[in-house]
Amino acid sequence: MHGEEGGMQLGVRQLLTRLAVMVGAGVAAGVIGGCTVFDVRQAAAVAVFFSIILGTLFFWNFRLAIAFLGLSVLICTHSLNIQQFVQSSALEVILFLVGMMIIVGALRDLGFFSWIVQCIVSMPNISGGKFIVVTSAASALLACAVDEVTSIIFISTLIFQVCDRLKLNPTPYVIIAVLCTNIGSAGTMMGNPVGIYIGTKGGLTFGDFMTWAFPLMLLALASTVAVTYWYFRREVALFNEHLQARLARNLSLASTVDVPYVQGLVLLLATVLAIASHHQIESWLGLGKNSVLLIAPLACSGVVMIIRRDRARHYVERDVDWWTLLFFMLLFAIAGTLEHTHVDRIMASRFAGICGTEHAVLVPFILAVTALGSAFVDNVIFVAAFCPVIEQLAVNVKDLPLWWALLFGACFGGNITMIGSTANIVALGMLEKRAHAQVGFFQWLKIGFLSALLACVVAWAGLMLLEPWMPDRHVQLKYEYLTADSGKVFHGKNAELKARCTGRASLPSLPGFPAAEYEAFWLSPPSGGRGPAVPVLVPKAHRELTATLEAADDTVLALRGKVHTMAAELPDSLHLLVLEAVSPAAVEE
């Protein structure tokens, strides 16, 4: 979301009033939190983050300055240190976006987007309905492949060209295109900054997006095209009338130009292929998860800058939006403070208290809250705040439906208001400049809310239907979650954790785990300090696992298995790990 007016156009009195409201509301949020559930550091983190939200509403042009000041407050209140800042600033996401922006600049130079426009203009047997369907699909798919802003710029240019020839008001067609652009941005991790951020925080691959997010995006896109086609049916009929009148005079819809496109197409295909195959390449080279995904755009943009070395500095200085990227980096770090100060655990506990741990309640709740928030506040802010909460919820429930609900809510919610996404602002600015047409807030809200609601319902229904087939991935579990004080309850949750094996244990037969079939060992905290012992069961058939534990010699191990809560049978330890795999930990905690 971007505010319609920046702080630079405000008078001194308005500026001071909004500043007082922002600071006062932020301080009030911190004080109320500090008097209820937060300690001092947590209250400072909440106050600064809330101020960032208000800052984007009141002072969009000053958002970076507000982020600088907020970061300073967090460091001075010991809510964040430099090491935590570096860990939370998501530099890998920032570099991914830098690479993609350079590639988009090169594609623009190479005429790729002009070629797409020419292909649409020269369609045979064009009609109003066909024009809407094609421009909608092109908007969504271009947003998937590059980004939402680039997509809407070129599709809007096409719409202006066609509507100028037919003497039509381009407003309905621009609105349809931008609505579909926002829908399409949820299809891959390249369409929107929140996509790559969610992918990084959730450990999602490009294949995960294509398997689960892309099909649901297509269904939401189809529903959006259908409802907008119905809503603007009179404009479609007028399009056909003007088109037939023009064709009757033997006039073409638009002049076509032979645009060279091969180099741009090769560049785009090479980039998408490198990103799409990242999981296989990582497996072959023994690299960490998503390593190739994050460096693929950098590698491709590096090749581009060598080949087009005369334009390399232009790509880096002009096509990379450093202002926005720096704001994102600071925003991610400030949102990371919610995790470092354990505000995320409190929020997750409150969510679980309100919604329980059932996907039937959590998924629509996350969808609705994120969509409504993204309608008025930058969706990156909401995603950055929600990611730590979902990481905490994932300790007890299957996390994939929650990540997809967050993605769809953040992207689809941008359709609700005219200030809900960057693409909306860009498109309306072009509309005002090129066609001297303005869209009222409620004029947009009628179709925007309707299309967003329908798209969210489609996403909700699709996620609930697909949830049984989504894998329950192994969550990174901290040892402290296995203590009685954590309040966690597990029902065969797939988990990975680090711990030390301190020797064999003698346990009675447990329901579902007879003593004749399992060996028992004790686990202790990986830090080596004092802490509650947690039992781990090893199937006797897996002798190699038993041998590894016996030879561990109190070293830190990386363990993978299923966690069960057995409060009645194990009143002292409560939880039990049934081991599936074990290896020496790469890094000790």
- Tell me how long the chain is: 589
**How large is the average pLDDT for residues 228-239?**
96
pLDDT at position 588: 42
Q: Is 354 exposed, middle or buried (0-12, 13-18, 19+ CB in 10 A)?
A: exposed
Is pLDDT at 1 greater than 60 in this prediction?
Answer: no
Kindly indicate the confidence band of residue 122, based on its pLDDT and cuts at 50, 70 and 90.
confident
pLDDT tens readout for residues 184-205? 999 999 989 999 999 999 999 9
**pLDDT of 451 above 60:** yes
- Reported as a pLDDT band with limits 50, 70 and 90, residue 255 is low
* Distance of alpha carbon 33 from alpha carbon 197, whole angstroms: 28
Q: Which is it for the CA torsion 395, 90, 269, 183, positive or negative?
A: positive
Strand 575-584 and strand 534-539: the pairing is parallel
- 163, 169 Cβ separation under 8 angstroms: yes
Query: Tell me, what's the pLDDT at 137?
Result: 96
User: Is residue 402 within 8 Å of 374, Cβ to Cβ?
Assistant: no
The pLDDT tens digits of the residues spanning 520-538 come to: 999 989 887 666 789 999 9
Q: What phi and psi, each to the nearest 5 degrees, are found at residue 560? A: -130, 135
Place of tokens 């398997």: 211
Q: How far apart are CA 376 and CA 385, in angstroms?
A: 15
Q: Which two tokens stand for residue 193?
A: 């900054």
Assess contact for 152 and 423: CB atoms under 8 A: yes
HSE-CB for 188 with a 13 A CA cutoff: 18
Would residue 505 be called left, alpha or beta, if left means φ above 0 and alpha means ψ between -120 and 50 degrees? Answer: beta
Percentage with pLDDT > 90 across the chain: 56
pLDDT of the residue at 195: 95
Neighbour tally for 211: CB within 10 Å: 15
Tokens of 581: 């795999």
Is 256's pLDDT higher than 70?
A: no
* Helix, strand and coil in the chain, % to nearest 5: 65, 10, 25
Q: How confident is the model at residue 342 (pLDDT cuts 50, 70, 90)?
A: confident
> Higher model confidence: residue 253 or residue 9?
253
Q: Residue 6: its pLDDT value, please?
A: 45
Q: What is the pLDDT of residue 5?
A: 42
The per-residue DSSP string of 194-263 comes to HHHHHHHHHT--HHHIIIIIHHHHHHHHHHHHHHHHHHTHHHHHHHHHHHHHHHHTT--SS-------HH
- Helix (H) or strand (E) run with residue 506 in it: none
Top-confidence residue, 357 or 401: 401
Question: Which residues partner with 584 through β-bridges?
Answer: 557
Q: What is the sign, positive or negative, of the torsion defined by CA atoms of 61, 64, 68, 73? A: positive
Predicted confidence band of residue 257 (pLDDT cuts 50, 70, 90) = low
- In the three-class reduction of DSSP (H, G, I as helix; E, B as strand; rest coil), residue 493 is classed as strand
Q: State the pLDDT at residue 9.
A: 59
Task: Using the predicted structure, report yes or no on whether residue 237 has a pLDDT greater than 90.
Answer: yes
Q: Please, what CATH class does the domain formed by 475-584 belong to?
A: mainly beta
**Helix 128-145 with 112-121: angle, nearest 10 deg:** 160
Judged against a pLDDT cut of 70, whether residue 7 lies above it is answered with no
Report residue 413 as tokens: 């919610």
Phi, psi of 577 (to 5 degrees): -105, 125
Closest residue by Cα to residue 51 from 323, 331, 372: 331
- Of 520, 465, 470, 513, nearest to 492 (Cα)? 513
Predicted local confidence at residue 350, as pLDDT: 83
DSSP state of 484: G
What is the pLDDT confidence band of residue 254, given thresholds at 50, 70 and 90?
Answer: low
Q: Which of 260-264, 301-305, 571-575 has the lowest mean pLDDT?
A: 571-575
| Structure tokens belonging to residue 141 | 């798919």
User: Which residue reads 């009033």 in tokens?
Assistant: 17
Please state which of the ranges 57-61, 399-403, 474-478, 575-579 shows the lowest mean pLDDT: 57-61
Q: Rounded to the nearest 5 degrees, what angle is found at the Cα of 448, between the Cα atoms of 444 and 451?
A: 150
pLDDT of residue 165: 87
pLDDT at 10: 63
Give the H/E segment covering residue 513. Answer: none
**Average pLDDT estimate for 106-117:** 88
Q: Pick the closest to residue 349 from 49, 38, 25, 32 (CA basis).
A: 38
Higher pLDDT, 129 or 584: 129
Percent of the chain residues topping a pLDDT of 70: 96
| The pLDDT of residue 508 is above 50 | yes
For residue 501, give every residue at least 6 positions away whose Cβ sits within 8 Å of its Cβ, in sequence order, or none.
521, 522, 523, 524, 536, 549, 552, 554, 557
Range name among 40-44, 268-272, 414-418, 550-554 with the lowest pLDDT average:
550-554
The pLDDT score that the predictor gives to residue 3 is 44
The torsion angle over the Cα atoms of residues 106, 379, 143 and 307, rounded to 10 degrees, is: 20
- Please give the pLDDT value at position 573: 75
Domain ranges of the chain: 1-79, 92-318, 475-584
Residue 426 tokens, joined: 């860009």
Helix, strand or coil, per DSSP, at residue 173: helix
Query: Which tokens go with 232?
Result: 């603007």
| pLDDT bucket at 57, cuts 50 / 70 / 90 | confident
To the nearest whole number, what is the mean pLDDT of the chain? Answer: 89
Q: Decide the pairing of beta strands 491-504 and 556-565.
A: antiparallel
pLDDT tops 60 at residue 2 = no
Write the pLDDT tens digit of every residue in 393-438: 998 899 999 999 999 999 999 999 988 898 998 999 899 988 888 8
- Distance CA(441)–CA(351), nearest Å, equals 32
Beta bridge partners of 496: 476, 560
Beta bridge partners of 582: 559
236 vs 130, 159, 170, 243, 437, CA distance in Å?
10, 13, 11, 10, 18
Average pLDDT on 359-377 reads: 93
Cα–chain-centroid distance for residue 515?
45
Q: How far apart are CA 474 and CA 496, in angstroms?
A: 6
| pLDDT over 50 at 566, yes or no | yes
Q: Which residue has the higher pLDDT, 349 or 441?
A: 441
